Copies of this chain bind each other. A is one copy, B any other.
Amino acid sequence: MKNFECYNPTRVFFGRGETDRVGQLCVQFGRRVLLVYGSGSIKKNGLYDRVMHALRSQNLEVLELTGVQPNPRIDKVREGVRICKEQGVEVILAVGGGSVLDSAKIIAIGAHYHGDPWDFFVDESTIPGKKTPLVTVLTLAATGSEMNHNAVVSNDETQEKLAVVNPAIFPDVSILDPENTYTVPRDQTVNGIADIMAHVFEQYFQPVPETPLQDRFAEGIMTTVIEYTPRVLAHPEDYDARATIMWCGTLALNHLLECGGEGDWATHRIEHELSAFYDIPHGAGLAIVFPQWMRYVVDAIPHKFAQFAERVWQIERNGKTDREMALQAIERTKNWFSEIGAPVSLREVGIGTERLEVMAERATQKGPLGSVKKLFKEDVLEILKMCL
């Protein structure tokens, strides 16, 4: 086990009806609220009205930033920062999935920075020591953004999709009300689940030995997601199924799993190129890339893949080598993504060979990727070709 720091100050309120707390939770920080949301699905399903009612019952003044897209853009963040500065926003309320939350996180620090918020993605030292208080209401189980210090934003001008990971951007409070995910369409539910599984893979398949409890926790999330996914797809309004997937999503990336290990984030980095160039859903890209990454790196940690085979997929030993166990588990993983309706090849999302080279180049421009096996441009290109 490696040394680590574990710190997560976000306060979570989880469960049915918790949404109605949002007014009280915001008012403790101030009266002038910037409500950040996406394409308007919250207006269709009634969540917008419910939130506005809660805010108005506390006499809060509400400004709005709407139209945050999946793979959120820095332009929208800039717009939010401008509103904060011009209007003296005292608290930001993000209602949505990872894209909305990530945008709001950057707005919250951008409001206290003199320059352009894209700077944070290029040079972490520009991140200010202060942020506008941030409350979130999650509507999609996927990114874990509700309880972590990560944010990913895209820049159309530079065709870059980059991440900030910094303690300055933990939400102060997050409301996780599983009923708010009842109306998430099937494909988005699946993409969210693929993202959750990917987060666990990235912290589980790592090179540091002797992280037994972390392994058990990761296996616990994977086993639970596999068990509950059919239920949530068959019955989108099954409270306990939605609640379970939601809590799995939060714990998959609140960095608990990573304590003591050395996560390998190569797949996320590779996928970010796919969604930067082709604007495909992040979860879909992950479902395509992950099984091929696994095949490519399997010989670096065959024992770990064999453990995954035994504990998560219940594949029996029967004299098989670690490698044989591993390959069977990887095949099962790919088939599982396919069974739940996620794409498992680039062809399925309309991506051909045209830009594989430039994506491989871009993914590795700051150096090789990964901790399990260092991946250079040629390695990434090979993995992308395996994804075709």
Residues of A within 8 A of B (CB): 1-18, 209-210, 212-213, 216-217, 219-221, 223-224, 227-228, 240, 243-244, 247-248, 251, 256, 259-260
Contacts and interface: CB of A to CB of B under 8 A. Distances in A.
Number of copies: 2
Contacts of A251: 213
Given A9-B9, A219-B220, A213 B14 contact: no
Contacts of A227: 212
Contact of A213 (B2, B213, B244, B259): B244
A113 to B, nearest CB: 24
Contact of A217 (B1, B17, B217): B217
B210 A216 contact: no
Contacts of A209: 240
A212 B246 CA distance: 12
A20 to B, nearest CB: 12
A216 B212 contact: no
A1 B219 contact: no
B247 A213 contact: yes
Contacts of A16: 3
Contacts of A1: 15, 240, 243-244, 247
A310 B366 CA distance: 48
Nearest to A176: B6
Given A217-B217, A217-B220, A244-B213, A259 B14 contact: yes
